[in-house]
Amino acid sequence: MIQALRGMKDIIPPDNERFVHIIETASAVARRYGYDYIETPLLEETALFKRSVGESSDIVGKEMYQFIDKGGHDVCLRPEGTAGVVRMFIQNKLDKKGGLHRFFYHGPMFRYERPQKGRLREFHQFGCESFGEGSVYEDFTLILMIKDIFDALGIGYRILVNSLGCPECMPGYRERLVAHLNDIKDGLCEDCRRRIATNPIRVLDCKVDSCQALLANAPVLTDNLCETCDADFATLVRLLEKHGLPFELDPKLVRGLDYYTRTAFEFVSSEIGAQSAIAGGGRYNRLVEFLGGKPTPAVGFALGVERIMELVKMPEKGREGIYLGVMEPRALETILEIAHRKRQREKVVVEYNKKSLKAHLKAADRVGAKLCAIVGEDEMKAGQIWVKDLESKEERRVAIDEF
C-alpha cells in the first residue's frame, strides 16, 4: 500500500471543518482591514529564497525541497510566503506604482525537517503583507489583526516583541555582539560558531539550551538602537500597553529570517508544547529593494494553521439542510428535481437507494440534516412529500410543487 510521505498529512473529516474555519475566519478579518486576496506559485527559483531568507538560515541551508527541473532550472517548493509575495510585487511593477498595497494569502509551504506535533514537512500558513506604509502604526495594526483572528478563533496567546534595528544602528551592535560571541565561542554549538562569521544575530535564535545559557549576558538589541528605531519601538510598546495587549519584551527574538528590520513580533501559546510560536512577523523595509525593486517599506506576518488546529474553539454547529430520500424507486427523479431547486439556497443530501422510513431517519440524523423529506408510494400518488423537522419533531405532508 502506498502511503503519504513522512511529514505530509491528509486533511480529512473532522479536521477539514476546523481547517476551513481557520482560513475563513482569518480571511474575513483581513478583508475588514482592507487586504486583498492573492496567490503565488508553490514552485519558485531557489535564488529567491537564498537572497531573501538568507543562505545562512536553516531554511535555506538544511530544509528546502530543492531540485533541478527538466529545463535545468534550480527550483524549490516555497518554504515560506513573504519572498514569493515580494517577487510578485516587483514582477507586476507594483513597486513603481507607489501608494499602499495590502495582500493576504494562504496555502501550503514545504520544509524538510523532523516532523513533530504542529510542525509538518508540508504545512499551511495564512499571511498578510503590507507595502508602502513605513509607519510603526502599521506594525501595530497587523498585531491587532492577529489579535482579532485569534480572539475570533477562541485562542489564548502572549505576544513577544523586539526591535532588530536598521542599517544605521545594526553595525555597532553587530560589533559588540561578535566580541561577546568570540569570548564564549568554545561553549557554543557548531551552528552558532559558524554563524559568528556569517550572521551573528542568528546566534540569538539558537534553540540549544546550553547556547542560551551562555547568551544570558549578550548585548541587547534594544539598548543599541538609533534615535529613529528607538522612538518607533517606544511607540509600539506604548500602543500595546494602551490597548491592554498581553506582551513581553524579548531581546533575543530575531525571527530566524535575514530580511527583518526594526519591529519583530511573535504570538506564542503554552498549549502546544515546545514549539510555542503560533504566529509571527515584522518589518522588512529593505527586501523589495534587495530583490531588485524600488525601495518600499513593508511589514507582514504569517500564522501556522496546523500549529493552531487543536487550539481552535469551533462554534456550535446546529442541524442544517435537507435530507431527501425515497421509499418508492419511481420517485427518485422527482426528488432529484427538488434537490437541484433547493440547492440554490441550502445544503441538500440525496439518498438514491430505496430504504425504510426508519432507515432514512437514521441516515438524516447522521448527516446532521434539519429536515428529512421522503417520497413513498402514497406521497407519489398524491403529488406530496412527507417532511419531518428533526429539531422540533414536527411532521407534515406538503405538495411537491410547494416544497
**pTM tops 0.85:** yes
Distance CA 314, CA 25 (A): 11
User: pLDDT at position 259, please?
Assistant: 75
* Section 146-155 average pLDDT: 96
Is residue 260 within 8 Å of residue 283, measured between CB atoms?
Answer: yes
SS3 percent helix, strand, coil of the chain, rounded to 5, is: 40, 20, 35
Single-letter amino acid code for the residue at 345? R
Average pLDDT for 196-211:
76
The pLDDT of residue 178 is 77
- pLDDT tens digits along 8-40: 999 998 899 999 999 999 999 999 999 999 999
Cα 134 to chain centroid, rounded: 24
| Predicted confidence (pLDDT) per residue in 232-264, tens digit | 999 999 999 999 999 999 888 876 666 788 999
Residue partners of 111: CB distance under 8 A and separation at least 6: 59, 63, 64, 65, 79, 121, 123
Q: Which residue in the block uniquely carries the three cell numbers 520544509? A: 111
165 in Cβ contact with 177 (< 8 Å): no
How many of the other CB atoms lie within 10 Å of CB of 261?
22
The cell numbers describing 222, all together, are: 534594544
Cis peptide bond N-terminal to 41, omega within 30: no
Per-residue pLDDT of 62-83, as tens digits, reads 788 899 999 999 999 999 999 9
E strand map for 132-271: 158-163, 247-249, 261-268
- Higher model confidence: residue 107 or residue 169? 107
